[in-house]
A = this chain, B = another copy of it.
């Protein structure tokens, strides 16, 4: 039924270790979560309203936080909301954002990522995720 067998196992293992139970809601939310790169609780609430209109918002929050504890998700505060990042999703990308027209260009740079690792380990940190945004003017807006 679910395509996310590996992650489902990670969840079940975490549940087992902490005397928590495997529920229909947790399965449903994990399935939906793993299809996204990142999502907010509110977004997921509306998305899942079709499948289960009675699924409560509090349950979404509780479950997404559970995923963080299980190492499947990573909470990141963006604007006024909390984004829950899908850890298993590879292909992280950073953003170039034009302050003139709002244009967003995505990019990836291995050299930068390597230097980030260096900085982190020099400070005793193990990086889970990162966020890099460059703000400036695109060629069109500079004139």
Contact = CB atoms under 8 A, between A and B. Distances in A.
Interface of A: 74-80, 96, 98-99, 105, 107, 109, 111-112, 115-116, 119-120, 123-139, 142
Contacts of A115: 109, 111-112, 115
A56 to B, nearest CB: 21
A138 B111 contact: no
Contact of A77 (B78, B107, B142): B78
A109 to B, nearest CB: 6
A107 B139 CA distance: 30
A117 to B, nearest CB: 9
Given A75-B99, A130-B135, 14 more contacts: A77-B77, A77-B80, A96-B120, A105-B125, A107-B123, A111-B115, A112-B115, A112-B119, A123-B138, A124-B138, A125-B139, A126-B137, A128-B136, A131-B131
B99 A123 contact: no
